[in-house]
Structure 1
Amino acid sequence: MVINKKSDWFKENIMSYLSEFEVIEKKFSEGDFGDLEQIEFNSEKISGNIDFWSLGWVGVFVWDNICESEMLNILSEPQEEERIVESFNKLKEIIINN
């Protein structure tokens, strides 16, 4: 799955679960793993971001604003397709349950 396909897959399969969140899309060039497409989401209970790097790395981070603690923090290498999908599924589960 190339970077555009990963972010497109995310938008098609996960983004609808973020309808109750403030969502901010950002783009940065020349970061640690190439160019970065970031989707930040915020609510009263949880906040986080999904990072799609042009070199194929994908990061998923979720913060519990109530408990002030990390709920999920996964950085996947480009070849870890299964882990990337698992991290999206964990994110979806957290969003649904919060």
Structure 2
Amino acid sequence: MRLNELLGRPVLDAGGTAIGGVADVRLVQDGPLLSSMNSALRIDGLIVVERHATQLFGYERHVGPALLRWLMHRHLGEVWYLPWAEVSVTGDSISTHVPRAELQRLQDVARR
């Protein structure tokens, strides 16, 4: 699967309700060793934005000036992190078996 096939796709929660769109993908470099002597990248999870699947600049987390973070949250709405294991890609949408009320907010997910 290619990254551009995921970005912007609508995401549905466990009840089939649209919760937003894919704005970004979190990758980890722990895959098999490649000929370049680097490990391959794999998808760790999706970053889902409630209102606008737009480019993120990091202000959706606890970085940057408070006013700028507040403005981004007003514009984007909630920003969630969906671990790849909880995601199912079907047709034109992506779904998760987790209800909206139990989704992890991106700012609460520890960086790995």
What's the TM-score once normalised by structure 1's chain length? 0.29
Higher RCO (CA-CA < 8 Å; seq separation 6+): 2
The structure with the larger Rg is: 2
Greater strand content: 1
**Structure with higher helix content:** 1
